[in-house]
Each structure stands twice: as C-alpha cells, then as structure tokens.
Amino acid sequence: MTRRIRLETHSIDFIPLSARHGKAADLFFLWFGANAQMAVVTTGILTIYPHFAFFWAAVGIVAGSLLGSVFMAYHSAQGPHLGIPQMIQSRAQFGYYGAVIPLVMVVAMYFGFYAAGAVIGADALSLLFHVPVHVGIFICAAADLILVLGGYTFIHRFNRAMAYFFTAVFAVVTGLLIWGPGLGRGLHHAAVHGQFMTGPFLLAISLAVINTLGYAPYVADYSRYLPAKTTIGTTFWYSYIGVVLSNIWMMLLGALVQTESPHTDPVRGFFHLGLHVSPIMAIAVLLAAWLGIISINALNIYGAFMSTLTIVSTFYRRWKPTLSLRVKFIIPITIVATYVSFFDKSALLASFETFLTLLIDFLVPWTAINLTDYYLVRHGTYDIQDIFRPNGRYGQVNVNAIAAYIIGFAWEIPFMHNAYFEGPVSRFLHNGDISWMVGIAVAGFIYWITAKFRTRAPAGGGDLRQNQGRLQRTRT
C-alpha cells in the first residue's frame, strides 16, 4: 500500500514488473473523470448550426464517439504489455530519431489542449471567486503542477473522485435542460425546424472523433503500470466505455445548452442554468467546470512532459528516472503551457474549433501507423531494450513510416475544411471534412504494405520478464 501513495519517480523508462499495480477497471474512472469536463462540452456546442437539426447533431456525436474511441482504446491496450509510454513506443515504427517528427506534433497538441482548457477553468474561477481571468489561469496552473508532480497514482485517484462528482453535477444539469420549467423551447424549435446538413453533420462526427482520438498519444501512459497479465480485452473495454459514455454525454450536453441559450461562453451558460436550481447548484457547476479542467490539463502536462523528455533523451541519453528529473521537466513545461494560455482568449470557440480540425489531420496518420504496426505487423512483439537504443533493430530513421505519414497527410488535403483552407472534395460535401477517414486508411495501408514483408519479430521480444532483465543490465 505504501508504494501506491509515493510520488512517481518513473518517466519514460520501462516499468518493472515488481512496480506494477492496479486493475483494468481503474481505467474506466480515469477516462470518464478526465473526459467529463467543460472542454468536451465546448466541443459539443460547436456541433450546433443555424437550421441544423439537433437530431442529426446527436447522431454525429454518437457515431463519432463510438468510432474514435476504438482507436483510443486500442492504444490503451498496449500499456500493460509494453510497460512504456505511448510515444516512446513510436520509435519502433519511425526509428529512434525518426520518432521525433510525430513527437513534435504531439507536444504542440498538448499545449493547444491545455491552453483552451485553462481559459475555460479560469472563467469558472472568475465567476466563482470574482478574480481576473489571468489570475484564474495561474491558479489552474498551480493546481495542475501539484497533481502532475504527484504522478501516475495521484492522477488516477483524483480522476476516480472526480468521476463521482461530475456525474452528480452534470446529471442535475441534464435533467434541468430536459425537464426544467421554461426550458426545452430551443430543442423543440431545432427538432421541428431543423434539417439535415451534410457539412455540419460531418463536422459533428469529426469533432467527436478528435475529442477521443486526441487521447491516443498518451492513453497507454496511464495503463503502463497495470500488471503484465492484464489482457488486451479488459484494458480496451474499460478505456473504451469510460471515454465513450463521457464523450457522448458531455457533447450532447453542450449541444443541448446551445439550442436553449446560444452563447459564446459555455461556463456562463452553465452557471445560469445552475441558478435555475439554486445558488448552491450554480457554485457546484462552477466547481465541476474548474475541477474538470484540472483533471484533463494534468493529463496534458503529464503527456507533454513525457513527450518532451522522449525528444531530449533521443539526443542526450545519460539520464536516470528520478523525482528530480521529473521536477526539472514538469515545471518549465507548465510555465510554457501557461504562457500559451494567454493567446487569443477573446475568441475561444472559433480558435478551439480551428485547432481541433487542424489537429486531427496531423494526428490520424500517426495513429494509423502505430496501431497497424502493433496489431497487424508485429502482433505486439517488441524488443523493449532496442526501443531505447539508436543502433537497435528498429533503426535510426524508418523512411517507410515517415513516407506513409507524409503521404497519408497529403491525401487528406483535398478533403480538409478549416479556417485556413478548403479542399475541393470538402467544398463538394458542403464544407464537410472527412480528411481523418482518408488519413487513417491511406497511412495505415501504406505502412502495412511496406512493413509486412520486411519486419522481423525480435526473438523473445514479447516476454516482459526477459525484457526487464535485459533493461536492468543496460543503462538507457
């Protein structure tokens, strides 16, 4: 039990079998608690357009959540088996140095998600304690810093507690939206006068997909401490159900709020809904908004720390997994993320939508390559020692993987739609964006074709006990 309350000292190193603990069911609470928050509600708000039927927005949200969570959960299932962070495992696909390319994209993703979330959390604190928004951003940063310094177990425990609290608060808000006196007119109007629109429908699917797929680069980081005997099936399903339920619920909640009371500030909209019940309920809503951002932004800082350390360790290998190392990376990363949070606060919804639609185009080729390699090419068999060696069997740069990534992204371009560019296919689809579907299919297929006939599984590479013994004899 003592081990479970210690500050984390491991980082991107292999988690020894003796340090494994927990159970797959913990992942349900982690991902439900991390995803049941206002940034996801904000994404749901973005699915509502004038004259677009709420029914079709809901169908898009459900479809995108069910589909996107599949990829996220399959990444999660890699954690117990490999015992290493998600992005350092990318060296097995892209090569020791080649993996830096997707890592840079992922670090930018963490900062973008953190910045959008921090503004939402700061707005909640501003309403709750009447402090300026910039002060709220600093308070959010301090709370996240404490949680991330605590590490893996602290984050798991915090999200378990938040899962119960968020469920209670958002259940009341949902009931109020559906059955509350004087409410329901917006939903009725959207149902009666709304219609199917191709562009907004495809956007609703895409936003739901990226909301869940956005966890892919670090989802295995939170399952890597589980016992090695944990099966792919249990890890997959607990991760999948936790994120699917929260994503559908929160995005539908955002869409409902927008049909009732269109507002560019989701926090204030929810605050006024809480006031329909009582001042205490309004305070509970603001606390849920703030704590939800603390929950997800702790994951963003943790992921940025792991990815940044992976980049640095690629070129400077003399490091040891200690608490001191964690502190030296986590504090400056939190400072940079906080600085980014001050950009473009005045147009949060517009900038957040642009960020999400751009992010998905860079992320999906990587996820396709990673999952194809793990499940279709190597079937989970890796030599963990060689992942940490520049001259190991995975090479320094895998040209095939990088080519698959670039070609997959290039094929997305005609299907893109964002604030800066509209492809010809997207224009034909009335501004609908299906670039993520194309990117996954093309990048995954090209990587599979080029890797299937040239990849040799390492002898004994799938034996974690053998990997552990070899790693203990080798300084990373």
Q: Which helix (H) or strand (E) holds 98?
A: none
64 with 209: CB under 8 angstroms? yes
Q: Measured between alpha carbons, how far is 144 from 148 in angstroms, rounded to an integer? A: 6
Neighbours of 111 (CB within 10 A): 20
* Among the listed residues 33, 21, 19, the one whose alpha carbon sits nearest the alpha carbon of residue 299: 33
Neighbours of 465 (CB within 10 A): 10
Question: Residue 417's beta-bridge partner residues?
Answer: 422
- Under DSSP, the state recorded for 215 is T
Q: Measured between alpha carbons, how far is 256 from 253 in angstroms, rounded to an integer? A: 5
Residue with tokens 């996801």: 40
pLDDT of residue 476: 38
User: For residue range 285-334, what is the model confidence (pLDDT) as tens digits?
Assistant: 899 999 999 999 999 999 999 899 999 989 887 777 777 888 889 999 99
pLDDT of residue 224: 93
CA angle 27, 31, 33 (to 5 degrees): 115
Q: Measured between alpha carbons, how far is 46 from 353 in angstroms, rounded to an integer? A: 7
Burial class (CB in 10 A: 0-12, 13-18, 19+), 431: middle
Give 264-303 as a 3 state SS string.
CCHHHHHHHHHHCCCHHHHHHHHHHHHHHHHHHHHHHHHH
* Among the listed residues 459, 465, 466, 473, the one whose alpha carbon sits nearest the alpha carbon of residue 381: 459
Helices within 323-458 (DSSP H only) = 323-340, 348-371, 384-387, 399-412, 424-428, 435-452
| Domains of the chain and any CATH numbers | 18-469 (1.10.4160.10)
Question: pLDDT tens digits, the chain, 476 residues: what are they?
Answer: 344 457 888 888 899 998 898 999 999 999 999 898 888 888 888 888 888 888 899 999 999 999 999 999 999 999 999 999 988 999 999 999 999 998 988 898 888 889 888 888 999 999 989 899 899 999 999 999 999 999 888 998 999 999 999 999 989 888 877 776 655 555 555 555 678 889 889 999 999 998 898 888 889 999 999 999 999 999 999 999 999 999 999 999 988 888 776 666 778 777 877 787 788 888 998 999 999 999 999 999 999 998 999 999 898 877 777 778 888 899 999 999 999 888 755 555 566 667 767 777 888 999 999 999 999 999 989 999 999 999 989 999 999 999 999 999 999 999 988 777 888 998 888 888 888 899 999 999 999 999 877 655 554 454 555 555 454 444 43
336 with 111: CB under 8 angstroms? yes
Which residues, at least 6 apart from 37, have a Cβ–Cβ distance to it below 8 Å?
117, 166, 250, 288, 289, 292, 293, 295, 296
pLDDT of residue 353: 66
Which residues, at least 6 apart from 41, have a Cβ–Cβ distance to it below 8 Å?
250, 251, 253, 254, 257, 266, 270
Q: Measured between alpha carbons, how far is 198 from 202 in angstroms, rounded to an integer? A: 6
291 with 158: CB under 8 angstroms? no
Q: What is the dihedral of CA 200, 201, 203, 204, to 10 degrees?
A: 120
- Under DSSP, the state recorded for 306 is H
310 with 12: CB under 8 angstroms? yes
Q: Measured between alpha carbons, how far is 451 from 373 in angstroms, rounded to an integer? A: 8
Q: Would you state the structure tokens that stand for residue 454, as one six-digit string?
A: 């040239």
What are the C-alpha distances in Å from 26 to residues 89, 170, 236, 362?
A: 23, 21, 12, 30
Burial class (CB in 10 A: 0-12, 13-18, 19+), 441: middle
Residue with tokens 């959540």: 65
Q: Would you state the structure tokens that stand for residue 225, as one six-digit string?
A: 């401490």
Neighbours of 153 (CB within 10 A): 18
Question: Residue 52's beta-bridge partner residues?
Answer: 195
The pTM for the full model equals 0.87
Phi (first) and psi of residue 52, to 5 degrees: -95, 125
How big is the chain, counted in residues?
476
325 with 312: CB under 8 angstroms? no
- Under DSSP, the state recorded for 420 is S
226 with 14: CB under 8 angstroms? no
Q: How many helices (H) and strands (E) does the chain have?
A: 20, 0
